[in-house]
Amino acid sequence: MKRHEYFPHRGDRSYAVAHYDLTLSYDVDSNQLRGKAVISAGASADLRELRLDLSGLRVTKVAVDGTNARYVVKPDHLLVRPKAPIKAGRAFRVVVAYAGRPRPVPDGDDECGWEELEDGVLVAGQTNGAPSWFPCNDRPDDKATYRIELTAPNGYYVVANGVCTSQWRSASTTTWIYEQREPMATYLATVQIGRYVVHPVDGSPVPMAAVLPPAHLRRYDSAFGRQPEMLAFFSRLFGPYPFAGYTVVVTDDRLDIPLEAQGMSTFGSNFLTSDWDNVRLVAHELSHQWFGNAVTASTWRDIWLHEGFACYCEWLWSEESGSRAADEHARNHWKRLAGKPQDLVLGDPGPDLMFDDRVYKRGALLLHALRLTIGDDRFFELLRTWVERHCYGSVTTEMFEALAAEVAGEPLDGLFDAWLRRRPLPDLPAVTSG
Ligand SMILES: [Zn+2]
């Protein structure tokens, strides 16, 4: 099947980034960002010119391997022309100095990226928001390690991906350094700035913390009280939690949906209740650490590998926590989905429908159908093997299909074709006693 790129205007396939070193200073009141990005990369083709995605910020200097380079700034990217072409296979380093007032970038009917809050900032990178705050090769399959240094006015708490390795305070500002040592896709890179306190959470197998306005602390447990148990449960099912820790940021602002980032998720204060619709999202975002962050789809076309899995994890947690069984959720959602238009192809929904709720639910239903077909033992063995084999890497739907057939010891083409490539909603298999 011929497939189109969802965002052909993003990213550059002629090189891959190994590490981003970002040194940023930010003034909250004026929304002024000043940055220096040191990008260590390797050329996969001979490079006369390379493209870095960067949206709406002023570039003041570009150097390649220590030599000033010519560059052209376009509205959503930067074309860099090194003094001498870079040969395929060679490692190189680009330094970009930039500044400006970061703004969210358009993303379909919505927008994403750097966003000012009432008093602070959040960064929602998905899908193409990373270029709103740093120059990058904005492709989900180009994963790299990061060092993020950010200087902000005193009184604000700054969170970024990875481990905080250093923090110091001067008369008016505080500098925070975070290191993300496991490879990360650009859309998962984030910083969160607010008048927050940090609240360490006990009882989790890995360091867990909440970062939130002090006034919301007393309501934190309403939605997040069982998150340590959730993390232990998912670790048992899918293998060890893949990152150094997990932080939940709660903004004072209300948010429409929670935001996913590597080692972190961000919820609006409106999610702090014990309603199932909030608790299920706590499970959903946490499960993205395995499905989406550690194991990342190479292209957005395969987004069901993130969202279908995370939705199924909601149902798994429901059952584990003593609420409705996964099978009951599946049959209810099958009925609802059956009443909706059958015009979506799960394995290639297109950029406009990639976050349609039907992708989430049909993806989860596919997993349930697979579980009922191959039995619990092989199904969970498949999920564990999937994470183990591809942890910190990039994957495709075809890779999942091949592994499922391998673990099941039987061809599953009919099942995958019906769920992934045809439009009508397939029936769910009857419950077996597996
Ligand atoms: Zn999700």
Quickly count: other Cβ atoms within 10 Å of residue 163's Cβ: 15
82 closest CA partner among 124, 41, 127: 41
Quickly count: other Cβ atoms within 10 Å of residue 434's Cβ: 12
Instruction: For residues 206 and 230, give the distance between their C-alpha atoms in angstroms, rounded to a whole number.
Output: 12
Residue-wise pLDDT tens digits, 318-347: 999 999 999 999 999 999 999 999 999 999
Residue-wise pLDDT tens digits, 307-317: 999 999 999 99
Confidence of residue 1 (pLDDT cuts 50, 70, 90): very low
Coil/strand/helix, residue 400: helix
User: 246-251 and 208-212: which strand pairing?
Assistant: parallel
Confidence of residue 6 (pLDDT cuts 50, 70, 90): confident
The answer on pLDDT for 434 being more than 60 is: no
For residue 108, the model assigns a pLDDT of 80
Confidence of residue 3 (pLDDT cuts 50, 70, 90): low
Give residue 292 CA to ligand 1 midpoint distance, Å: 8
Residue-wise pLDDT tens digits, 368-403: 999 999 999 999 999 999 999 999 999 999 999 999
Quickly count: other Cβ atoms within 10 Å of residue 117's Cβ: 17
Quickly count: other Cβ atoms within 10 Å of residue 403's Cβ: 17
Instruction: Please name the amino acid found at residue 308.
Output: G
Rounded to 5°, the CA angle 224-115-28 comes to 100
Give residue 287 CA to ligand 1 midpoint distance, Å: 9
Confidence of residue 202 (pLDDT cuts 50, 70, 90): very high
Give residue 46 CA to ligand 1 midpoint distance, Å: 37
The answer on pLDDT for 144 being more than 70 is: yes
Instruction: For residues 373 and 261, give the distance between their C-alpha atoms in angstroms, rounded to a whole number.
Output: 33
Coil/strand/helix, residue 21: strand
For residue 431, the model assigns a pLDDT of 85
The pTM of the whole model exceeds 0.75: yes
Cβ contact 262:180 at 8 Å? yes
94 closest CA partner among 106, 80, 111: 80
Percent of the chain with pLDDT over 90: 96
Q: Which has the minimum average pLDDT: 102-116, 166-180, 352-366, 388-402?
A: 102-116
Q: What is the mean pLDDT of the chain?
A: 96
Give residue 359 CA to ligand 1 midpoint distance, Å: 10
The larger pLDDT score, comparing residue 434 to residue 312, is at 312
Give residue 291 CA to ligand 1 midpoint distance, Å: 9
Give residue 113 CA to ligand 1 midpoint distance, Å: 16
Instruction: For residues 5 and 18, give the distance between their C-alpha atoms in angstroms, rounded to a whole number.
Output: 23
Write the DSSP assignment of 125-159 as a string of letters: -TTTTGGGTS-B---TT--EEEEEEEEEETT-EEE
Mean pLDDT for 260-289 is 97
Place of tokens 């349609």: 356
Question: What are the chain's domains?
Answer: 10-101+129-186 (2.60.40.1730), 196-289 (1.10.390.10), 295-421 (1.10.390.10)
Burial of 416 (0-12, 13-18, 19+ CB in 10 A): buried
Give residue 285 CA to ligand 1 midpoint distance, Å: 6
Place of tokens 């996913």: 260
Instruction: For residues 262 and 184, give the distance between their C-alpha atoms in angstroms, rounded to a whole number.
Output: 7
Mean pLDDT for 259-271 is 97
Instruction: Please name the amino acid found at residue 10.
Output: R
The answer on pLDDT for 4 being more than 80 is: no
Give residue 257 CA to ligand 1 midpoint distance, Å: 9
The answer on pLDDT for 2 being more than 50 is: no
Give residue 288 CA to ligand 1 midpoint distance, Å: 7
Coil/strand/helix, residue 28: coil
Give residue 264 CA to ligand 1 midpoint distance, Å: 13
Residue-wise pLDDT tens digits, 228-249: 999 999 999 999 999 999 999 9
